[in-house]
Amino acid sequence: MTTATEDNKPEEYFLAEAGNQQYIGPLSLEQIRSGLKNGSIPADYLYCTEQMEAWQPLSTLAELHKQKTPGAPQPKRLNIPPAPVPGGINPYAGTLIPPVRPMPENHMVMSIIGICIGFFCCLPSCICGVIALIKSFNVETYWRVGKYEEAIKASASAKSWGTISLLIPLVFIIFLCIASVG
């Protein structure tokens, strides 16, 4: 049984060493089997696919333990360098980004506008804008390490603080207008 995506092509796997910020892939199931057999892929690696939400131990990949179909083409030997070659490019290397979901909106522009307006209008708005900016940085940080739920919470928090940083000067200006008329 071959695992396939909606496009009816074989599923691609990404591998990473636990605690390392680099991944290798995409690799086919046959390349992983071959790499495990010849020792170029350690058995304690983690794996992930585009449909998965988190990295899992390679030992839990059920497809690795199923029998191969007789007559299936033999995979090429997979030699994965542990790090980029000096002066060259490692075609298997990449940043450890879970290939799962798109990054939530970070609302950074709103935060920066809130800081700028607050700088010229009132200090509380500027402080709220700085808090919103910090939260917007957290969105990408959480997303890159695979903590998607925390990234969504940080996005909502950045939006809330950014909105507050924009509303404070508006309330302040309305208050000044009312005070000057009366």
More confident position, 60 or 3? 60
What mean pLDDT is reported for the chain? Answer: 75
The answer on pLDDT for 182 being more than 50 is yes
The answer on pLDDT for 99 being more than 60 is no
- pLDDT of 98 reads 44
The model's pLDDT over 73-84, given as tens digits with 9 standing for 90+, comes to 554 544 544 444
SS3 78: coil
- pLDDT of 84 reads 42
How far the first Cα of the chain sits from its last, in Å, is 80
- pLDDT of 131 reads 94
Per mean pLDDT, which range of 1-5, 48-52, 171-175 is the poorest? 1-5
More confident position, 36 or 94? 36
Neighbours of 106 (CB within 10 A): 23
Q: Are 24 and 16 in contact (CB under 8 A)?
A: yes
Region 89-103 average pLDDT: 52
Banded model confidence at residue 137, pLDDT cuts 50, 70, 90: very high
User: Which own/partner pairs from 69-78 qualify as long-range (CB within 8 Å, at least 24 positions apart)?
Assistant: 72/30, 75/28, 75/30, 75/31, 75/33, 75/34, 76/31, 76/34, 77/34, 77/38, 77/40, 78/27, 78/31, 78/34, 78/35, 78/38, 78/40, 78/41
- pLDDT of 83 reads 44
- pLDDT of 56 reads 80
Banded model confidence at residue 88, pLDDT cuts 50, 70, 90: very low
**CA distance to 46, 49, 107, 113, per residue, from 64 (Å):** 13, 14, 42, 52
Q: E-strand spans in the chain?
A: 13-16, 22-27, 46-48, 56-57, 93-95
Q: Are 106 and 155 in contact (CB under 8 A)?
A: yes
- pLDDT of 152 reads 92
SS3 16: strand
